[in-house]
Amino acid sequence: MKFRYLGNSGLKISEITYGNWLTHGSQVENDTAVRCVQAALDNGITTFDTADTYANTAAETVLGDALAGQRRESLEIFTKVYFPTGPMGPNDTGLSRKHIRESIDASLRRLKTDYVDLYQAHRYDVETPLEETMQAFADVVRQGKALYIGVSEWNAQQLRDGHALAKELGVQLISNQPQYSMLWRVIEEEVVPASRELGISQIVWSPVAQGVLTGKYLPGQPAPEGSRATDAKGGADMVKSWMSDDVLEGVQRLKPVAEELGLTLAQLAIAWVLSNDNVASALIGASRPEQVESNVKASGVVIPAEALARIDEAIGGLAERDPAKTTAPAHRLS
């Protein structure tokens, strides 16, 4: 496992971060989740990402249990705040001082730790003054409950505004967590240049485009039974924009590139996002330990320039690149 600095800080994180968004507390049984976390540890992953909203707080509890007994100093534990939790009352969402203060304490209890290494704003809150949000985050850092602060899916201007306030308050905003893959490149035009300027790294989610870049979906054929594209509970909605034959044909054109590099398509997709020097880590999830063991092999892979050009030729024109797609929800989903 290789490690990279997170933003303009001294914190190093593993190139592969284990995330439990769609699995722990919902899609997989707890004993399987624990085995996946153990597989991550066994394969050199030290960085773990979750959020209070995942499975309505259950994911944090599962991760806390799975990491119990590990040397805390050898781990980097990240969580997030913004989306509704608990009974979803009027103050159970957003980035108000009240919600942040109550959420960090609850997250620490569930994670069984005194602090998180990174506390992230899960989205930009258009209904709370940014000054209030950043002051609350600064208080969390000063109280020793988080070491650094980060955000998720903020656009370039939001990053500039948040970074300026954090600097005034004497705390470090060092990361952004956006979606990024060969098929979803909306951060490249504005977010990445602004982040480089500000000393902010990306921790990217869905590097395999919800499984589409694994090559398991074939053009003109039904989705495999049990795959996310057949999940009526929401998974199918998340991948449907990539299920057109032209996209699936483009993914199949990547197979020779992956084979020549000795990689699976999933490993190629993860290595591709890590080839962007503003990306500190790629988030992976897993429903089986074997998926973790396979995906970690993308760490340290260097994709030659010729192969990168072939990837762009095969699939680049199919990618979404509009920077306006990096937007916060208009309201808090309360």
pLDDT one-digit tens code per residue, 279-304: 999 999 988 999 999 999 999 999 99
Q: What is the spatial distance between Cα 46 and Cα 332, in angstroms, rounded to a whole number?
A: 32
Residues 6+ apart with CB under 8 A from 292: 18, 36, 39, 40, 43, 45, 284, 286
What pLDDT is recorded for position 234?
57
Cα dihedral sign, 9-267-239-191: positive
Q: Which residue among 54, 124, 180, 217 is the active-site one? A: 54
What pLDDT is recorded for position 233?
61
Over residues 81-102, mean pLDDT: 94
CA angle 54, 58, 60 (to 5 degrees): 75
User: Cβ distance 223 to 230 under 8 Å?
Assistant: yes
User: Cβ distance 119 to 145 under 8 Å?
Assistant: yes
Over residues 72-90, mean pLDDT: 95
- pLDDT band for 10, please (50, 70, 90 cuts): very high
Asked if residue 267 has pLDDT above 80, the reply is: yes
Residues 6+ apart with CB under 8 A from 232: none
Query: Is 332 within the bounds of a domain?
Result: no
Q: What is the spatial distance between Cα 185 and Cα 323, in angstroms, rounded to a whole number?
A: 8
State the DSSP string of 161-193. HHHHHHHHTT--EEEE--B-BTTB-TTTTTHHH
What pLDDT is recorded for position 230?
63
DSSP H or E segment with residue 147? strand 146-151
Least confident of 24-33, 188-197, 313-322: 24-33
Asked if residue 27 has pLDDT above 90, the reply is: no
Average pLDDT for the chain: 93
Q: What is the spatial distance between Cα 56 and Cα 15, in angstroms, rounded to a whole number?
A: 27
Query: Is 333 within the bounds of a domain?
Result: no
Q: What is the spatial distance between Cα 215 and Cα 254, in angstroms, rounded to a whole number?
A: 9
148 is catalytic: no
Q: What is the spatial distance between Cα 1 and Cα 16, in angstroms, rounded to a whole number?
A: 8
Residues 6+ apart with CB under 8 A from 284: 16, 17, 18, 19, 207, 270, 291, 292, 295
Asked if residue 333 has pLDDT above 60, the reply is: no
DSSP H or E segment with residue 201? strand 201-204
Q: What is the pLDDT of residues 120-130, one digit of tens each?
A: 999 999 999 99
Query: Is 99 within the bounds of a domain?
Result: yes
Query: Is 238 within the bounds of a domain?
Result: yes
CA angle 231, 232, 236 (to 5 degrees): 55
Query: Is 330 within the bounds of a domain?
Result: no
Helices H / strands E in the chain, number of each: 12, 10
Domain total in the chain: 1
CA 24 to each of CA 174, 249, 255, 286: distance values in angstroms, whole numbers, following the listed order: 26, 32, 31, 9
Query: Is 57 within the bounds of a domain?
Result: yes
What CATH number did the domain enclosing 178 receive?
3.20.20.100
Residue-level length of the chain: 334
What pLDDT is recorded for position 192?
98
Q: What is the pLDDT of residues 196-241, one digit of tens each?
A: 999 999 999 999 999 999 999 898 887 777 676 666 665 667 777 8
What pLDDT is recorded for position 22?
65
Asked if residue 334 has pLDDT above 50, the reply is: no
Query: Is 334 within the bounds of a domain?
Result: no
Nearest in space to 160 (alpha carbons), one of 129, 205, 193, 119? 193
CA 156 to each of CA 42, 148, 326, 333: distance values in angstroms, whole numbers, following the listed order: 37, 19, 9, 23
What pLDDT is recorded for position 254?
98
Asked if residue 332 has pLDDT above 90, the reply is: no
Expressed as residue numbers, the domain containing 18 is 3-325
Least confident of 103-112, 132-141, 313-322: 313-322
What pLDDT is recorded for position 242?
86
Residue 282 CA, distance from chain mean position: 7
Query: Is 331 within the bounds of a domain?
Result: no
